[in-house]
Structure 1
Amino acid sequence: MGRLSIVFAILLMLSAISLVTARYQSRQLFVASERQGAQARELDTDWRRLQLERAELVRNARIDEIARHDLGMLPASPDRTLYLKGDFAPVPAPRASNGGQP
């Protein structure tokens, strides 16, 4: 009976140590999961911010403003336009004073 008690005591101690180890690992996994969730939320916020920034950068008005101010570009006008025929030779633009006839 004494040996049986010792065997059960050892099994009980092993079971208790196993339980403590399992709980510790469970807590470690929970903490890691929470960190990953926080990182995912942060990345989602960054993604949304970048999407808004990209939408702002591709706005036509912004592109037009940069073209005019930073690059010094002007809108196309009929007096500065070259028309090309089939042989790709430049043809002067039609003049507005002669009724629009070439």
Structure 2
Amino acid sequence: MIRLNLFLAFLLMASAISLVTVRFQTRELFVASERLKSHAHELDAEWRRLQLERAELARNARIDSIARADLHLVSVTPDRTIYLQQPAPAAQESRP
């Protein structure tokens, strides 16, 4: 009977230790999960900010102002336009 009691006490201690270990691992996983959710939220906010920045940089008015100010480009006028005409195709000789 003493052997059975010692065996049951050993099983009780082993299950208690495993319970504590499982709860500790659960808490660690929960903390890691929350940390990853927070990081995902930060990345999502950064993605939205970058999308807005890209849209701002691609605006036509901004590109036009940079072209005029930094590159000194001007709008094309008809008097500065050169028109090229393609020569008419030569008449092909007919062969019998």
Note whether the superposition's TM-score is higher than 0.5: yes
Counterpart amino acid of residue 52 in structure 1: L
Q: Which region of structure 1 is more displaced relative to structure 2, 17-26 or 78-87?
A: 78-87
Where does residue 12 of structure 1 map in the other structure? Answer: 12
Counterpart amino acid of residue 44 in structure 1: D
Q: What are the within-5 Å matches in structure 2 for residues 15-26 of structure 1?
A: 15-26=15-26
Deviations 1:38-86 (A, max 9, x none): 0000000000000000000000000000000011000000111111111
What is the RMSD of the two structures over their aligned residues, measured on CA atoms? Answer: 0.6
Where does residue 54 of structure 1 map in the other structure? Answer: 54
Counterpart amino acid of residue 42 in structure 1: E
Distance 1:46 1:35 in 2: 17
- What secondary structure is seen at the aligned counterpart in 2 of 1:83? coil
Distance 1:13 1:85 in 2: 97
Which 5+ residue runs of structure 2 have no aligned equivalent? 88-96
Where does residue 94 of structure 2 map in the other structure? Answer: none
Distance 2:57 2:84 in 1: 34
Which 5+ residue runs of structure 1 have no aligned equivalent? 88-102
Counterpart amino acid of residue 2 in structure 1: I
Q: 1:81 and 2:81 equivalent? A: yes
Counterpart amino acid of residue 48 in structure 1: R
Alignment length (residue pairs): 87
Distance 2:31 2:86 in 1: 72
Higher relative contact order (Cα pairs below 8 Å, separated by 6+ residues)? 1
Percent identical across equivalent pairs? Answer: 64
TM-score (norm 2): 0.89
